[in-house]
Amino acid sequence: MKPPLSPEDAQGDRGLRMTPPSGARERYVAAFMLGLALFFPPLLAVFDVPGTLLGIPVLFLYLYLAWLTVILVVVLIVVRTREDGTDEPSAEQDEAGR
């Protein structure tokens, strides 16, 4: 593991200093999985029924609400990640690779 860099060591391009703690990756993947679950057949078929709710067709309502939910989850993750002191320039853990 490399020792943390000081900001002066980092390249001038400001984007390269930012690295999140490893917890963020898991959360994003979780959000992804949530989306998969909500948008894919098993749950999808449950709501694929005729009829309306508040005058709006059920499927339509469900899809848009689910969509909005996923977006809001991602917002939460982004906000939470920033709060967790992501400005410390620590080196990213090794990516999986062969």
Partner 1 sequence: MDLLRQRGPGGPGGIHYLPIYLGPTLMAAVWWIVLRKMVRISKVNRITSIADFVASRYGKSPLLGGLVTIIALVGLIPYIALQLKAVSDTFTVMVMYPEVTAQDLMHSVPFYMDTAFYVALILALFAILFGTRHIDTAEHHQGMVAAIAFESIVKLVAFLAAGLMITFVIFGGPADLFGQAARHPDLAELFRVGELADYGNWVALILLSMVVILVLPRQFQVAVVENVDERHVSKAAWLFPLYLFLINLFVLPIAFAGVLMFGHGEIHPDSFVLALPLSQDLQWLALMVFLGGLSAATAMIIVETVALATMLCNDLVMPVLLRIRWLRLQQRKDLTRLLLHLRRWGILVGILLGYGYVRITGDMVALVGMGLVSFCAVAQFAPALIGGIFWKGATQKGALAGLAAGFAVWLYTLLLPAFAQSGWLSMGFVEQGLMGIALLKPYALFGLEGLDPITHSLIWSMLVNVGAYVTVSLLTRQSTMERIQANLFVDVFRLSADRYGSSRFWRGTATVRDLLDLLKRFVGEERAVRAFHQYARARGLDFRRMREADGELILMCERMLAGSIGTASARVMVSNVAKGDVVSLEEVMEILDEASQVITYSQQLEAKSRELEAATAELRAANAQLQQLDRMKDDFISTVTHELRTPLTSIRSFTEILHDHPDLETAKRQEFLGIIISESERLTRLINQVLDLAKLESGAMRWYIRRLDLVEILTEAATTTGQLFRDKGVDLALELPEQPVWIPTDRDRLMQVVINLLSNAVKFTPSQTGRVVLRLRPARDGGVRVEVEDNGPGIPAEALPTLFEKFRQVGDALTDKPEGTGLGLAICKNIVQRLGGRIWVETEPDQGSRFIFTLPVPRFPEAAGE
For partner 1, the binding residues (CB under 8 A) are: 2, 5, 10-11, 13-16, 18-20, 24-25, 28-29, 31-32, 35-36, 39-41, 44-45, 48, 50, 52, 54-60, 63-64, 67-68, 70-75, 78, 81-82, 91-92, 94-98
Minimum separation from the CB atom of position 73 to partner 1 (A): 8
φ, ψ of residue 40 to 5 degrees: the values are -100, 165
Q: Using an 8 Å Cβ cutoff, are 34 and 73 in contact?
A: yes
Q: What gap in Å lies between CA 66 and CA 46, rounded to an integer? A: 13
Q: Using an 8 Å Cβ cutoff, are 74 and 31 in contact?
A: yes
88 vs 92 by CB, closer to partner 1: 92
**The two structure tokens encoding residue 86:** 């992501």
Minimum separation from the CB atom of position 96 to partner 1 (A): 7
H/E stretch holding 57: strand 56-57
88 vs 91 by CB, closer to partner 1: 91
Minimum separation from the CB atom of position 7 to partner 1 (A): 12
Measured in residues, the chain has a length of 98
